[in-house]
Amino acid sequence: MRLRFLYIAFICFFSQSFSQNYEAKVDSLMRLMTLQEKIGQTVMYSGHWDQTGPFVSTDNGKYIREGNMGAMLNAMSVKGTRDLQKIAVEETRLGIPLLFGYDVIHGHRTIFPINLGLSASWDLQMIEKSSRIAAEEASAEGIHWTFAPMIDVSRDPRWGRISEGAGEDVFLNNEIAKAYVKGFQGDDLSQPNTVLACAKHYVAYGAAQAGRDYHTTNMGEGELRNVYLPPFKAAIDAGVETFMSAFNELNGVPTSGNKFTLRDILKDEWNFKGLVVSDYTSINEMIQHGFAADSIDAARIGMNAGVDMDMMGHVYRLHLKKLVEENKVSEAFINDACKRILMAKFKLGLFDDPYRYSDEEREIKTAYQSEFLTEAREIAAASSVLLQNKNDALPLSKTSKTIAFIGPLVKDEYNIIGNWAAKGDRDGKAVSVFEGVSEYLKPKQILYAKGCDILKADTSGFEEAIRVSKQATEIVLVMGEDYHMSGEAASRTDLKIPGVQPELIKKIREANPNKKITLVIMNGRPLNLSEEVNLVDAILEVWFPGTMGGAATADLLFGEVNPSGKLTVTFPRNVGQVPIYYNMKNTGRPIPESNPKEDYKSNYIDIENTPLFAFGHGLSYTKFNYSDLKLSSNKLTFSNTIDAQVEVSNTGSKDGYEIVQLYIHDKVGSVTRPVKELKGFQKIYLKKGETKTVTFTVSVEDLKFYNSDMVYGVETGEFEIAIAPSSEFKFESSFTLIDQ
C-alpha cells in the first residue's frame, strides 16, 4: 500500500513540475507500468443506471481494482463517478484515473434540436454554443468524454442515423464538425467544464447499402477521399482528441480492423495523436463479418489495425497479453495505444486532480439554467425550415377567433426531444407545442384534438378531429415520427408520415376545402411529403426540436421569429429516388430541359428526377432578391484569388436572416466532377428594404480534389460559379483557372 502512495506522489510531482509537458509525464508513468497494466488502459466497460444512480457490476469493480479498465461509459453523477474514480485512484497499484464517457449528442440535460436540425440553421456559432452548453452540463455530472460529433456524410434518408449528422454536403459537414469540436473541448481541456470530443464513425458508415444500419459500404478510394474522409480531417484540424471506428465494413474490410484507414491514413498520413476507440463491440463483430476467426483473432486484428481502446468487447483484456507473447501483436502497438489514452487523461487534468469533475455544488446549479433554455429556444427556431407557405398561411394571427391544433404531437413532451437525448427530461422540462402556443393565445382561442396516434392504425379519433377542425378559423396539424423511428437501428423503407396520420390529413382537407391548413412536422429524416404538399398550405419542418421545441415552434407560427433555416439534405419525391442529393454527377445522357421525358435519357418513366425539396431550400416570411453577380476577375491563377459578390435585397415586409450560398462547378476534370459543389455560405441579417453586398473569396484551395492517382490537387480549366439562395439554380457566370 505504501508503494502505491509513493507512485501517486511521483506522478503528482511530475504533474506540478511539468504542467504542460504531457509527453514527459506519460513516458515517466509508462516506465512504471507492466504490460498487463498498459493493456488495462485499452479496456472500456459500461456502468449502469437505475433510479438511485450509477452502479457497476461485481466484475467491473474487480476489473477497476486490478487495473484492467481504463475507461467507463454510461456512468455519471458527481457521487457515482467519484466513487468509481476513488476505486481507480486509491485501490490500484498506480492510481491511474478512469475516463468517464457518455453519449452527449445534441445536449445533455438541456436538449437542442437533433443534429440534422442543428445543421439546418447553417449557424456555426449556434452549433458551437449548443455543444458548449452540453459540455457544461455533462462535465458537471462527472463526464469527461462524449461520443460526438457524428460527422458521417449521409445521402440516404432510409438510414436512421442520418438524424445525427449534418446531411449530404462535404463542405458543410467540415465546417460543422469544427464547430462541435470547439464547443465540446473549449480552448483549454484542463478546465473542468470541457469534455473530450470524438469524431465518429470512422469511416463511410453513412453510405450503408440500402440505408440499412451496420451494413456494408463499397466505394472507390476517390469517393472515400473526396466525400467521406474530409469531415474527419477537418475535425483533426480543429483539435479533436478522439476518434471512433465504425460498425460497417468498407470494401471488404471492417472499419475496426482496417489498417489502411486507421494506421495508414489517420495515424500516419494525418499524424493524428489522439486515441481511437471502437464502437460498441465492433471489434468482436469482425467475427460475424467473416473477417476474424474468433475473439482472439479479432483482438489481434483490432490492435494491429490501430484501434487503441476496446469498447465493451472484452477481447483486449482477455487476449492481448498472450498475443504479444506469441509475437502476433507488437508490444510497440500496446505502448502507443496506452500512451494515447494516458495523454488524454493528462490533458483533462485528471492526474492533477482526479476529482476535478466532482463538484456537487456545480452539479446542482448547472442543468437547465435559464440562459441555456433561452439559447435552446433560439436555436430550435433557427433550425426549423419553412418548406412551403402557399396563400401566406403563415404566420398565424394572434387575433384569430379560433385555431385548431390537431395531431398526436400537439401535446407531446416525450418525442419532441428526439433520439439520443442523453439525460433530457421527457416528461417535465420539455415544452410541448400546445404549451408554446398557449403563450400567444387565450384558452378560448385554442381548439384541440389528438386525432390519432403516431403509429397505431386506429381511426377512432378522426371524428372528433374533423369536428374540431370545422369549428376553427385556421388549422394547424402537428404530426410526424416517433422518436424511436430515427437514430441507431432505425432504418425505414417507407419515408411517408407513419401510421394513419396521412389519412387524417386528407380527411381534414376534405372537410375544410377553403381553410388555411399548416402542417408542422417532427421527424429525424427527410420524409416523402409529395401528397401533403397538395393537401396543406404551409409546411414547417421543426425536426425533433428539443427541450424548448414547443416554444420555438410557437415563435415561428406566430411570426415572433422569422424562419431562416435551410435544408442540409434533399427531400425526395418518393423512396425510389434514393439516394438523391444535389451534387450528383452528370451522365452521358442528361435530360434535356426542352423535353424532360425524352427517350433514352437518364430519367424515370414514372416521376421527375428532381427532388421535392432541394438542398439549401428554405423559405422566409419576407422575400430576398439576388442580383448583379460580379467577379473581380474572370481568370484565377495559382497565386491569386478572385472575389465573387452579389447584391442581396430584402424586398418583403419583414426583417429576416438569409443564408447566402456559393456554388462552383468544375466543367472538365481528369475524373468526373459533381454538377455543383457548395464552397461557402454566409448568414446575413437584412431589415425590410435593406440591401447588402455579399462577397466570397475564391482560391485554388476551393477547387482541389483527389484525382484517379489519389493526388490531391487542382486542374486548370473553366469553372462555373453562382451565388444563390439554394442549390436550385442555373449557372450563368464562369471563370478560368490558368497555370501562371
pLDDT confidence of residue 52: 43
Between CA 681 and CA 677 the distance in angstroms is: 12
567 plus 433 within the same structural domain = yes
**Is 138 inside any structural domain?**
no
534 plus 656 within the same structural domain = no
* Cα–Cα nearest to 43, from 310, 345, 337, 338: 310
Burial of 159 (0-12, 13-18, 19+ CB in 10 A): buried
**Is 679 inside any structural domain?**
yes
Tracing cell 487542382 back to the chain, one arrives at 714
Which tens digits make up the pLDDT trace of 689-709? Answer: 999 999 999 999 999 999 999
pLDDT confidence of residue 20: 53
Residues 6+ apart with CB under 8 A from 266: 202, 232, 243, 272, 276, 306
Provide the CATH number for the domain around residue 542: 3.40.50.1700
Residue 647 is which amino acid?
E
* Overall domain count for the chain: 2
560 plus 484 within the same structural domain = yes
**Is 277 inside any structural domain?**
no
CB 566 within 8 A of CB 612: no
**Is 562 inside any structural domain?**
yes
DSSP code of 214?
A: T
**Is 536 inside any structural domain?**
yes
**Is 467 inside any structural domain?**
yes
418 plus 476 within the same structural domain = yes
451 plus 563 within the same structural domain = yes
- The grid cell for 236 is 483533426
537 plus 679 within the same structural domain = no
**Is 542 inside any structural domain?**
yes
**b/e map of 84-95 (b: 16 or more CB within 10 Å)?**
bbebbbeebbbb
405 plus 517 within the same structural domain = yes
**Is 732 inside any structural domain?**
yes
644 plus 523 within the same structural domain = no
* Cα–Cα nearest to 107, from 69, 137, 82, 78: 137
Provide the CATH number for the domain around residue 674: 2.60.40.10
**Beta pairing partners, 410:** none
Between CA 430 and CA 35 the distance in angstroms is: 49
Using CA atoms, how far residue 426 sits from 46, 237, 475, in Å, is: 24, 36, 26
pTM of the model: 0.96
572 plus 702 within the same structural domain = no
629 plus 562 within the same structural domain = no
Tracing cell 474487480 back to the chain, one arrives at 62
pLDDT confidence of residue 740: 79
407 plus 556 within the same structural domain = yes
For residue 439, give its domain range: 368-577
Tracing cell 407513419 back to the chain, one arrives at 498
534 plus 650 within the same structural domain = no
Question: Which residues are tagged catalytic?
Answer: 279
pLDDT confidence of residue 56: 52
- The grid cell for 562 is 422569422
Low-confidence ranges of the chain (pLDDT < 50): 1-19, 50-55
pLDDT confidence of residue 57: 64
Which tens digits make up the pLDDT trace of 583-634? Answer: 999 999 999 888 888 899 999 999 999 999 999 999 999 999 999 999 999 9
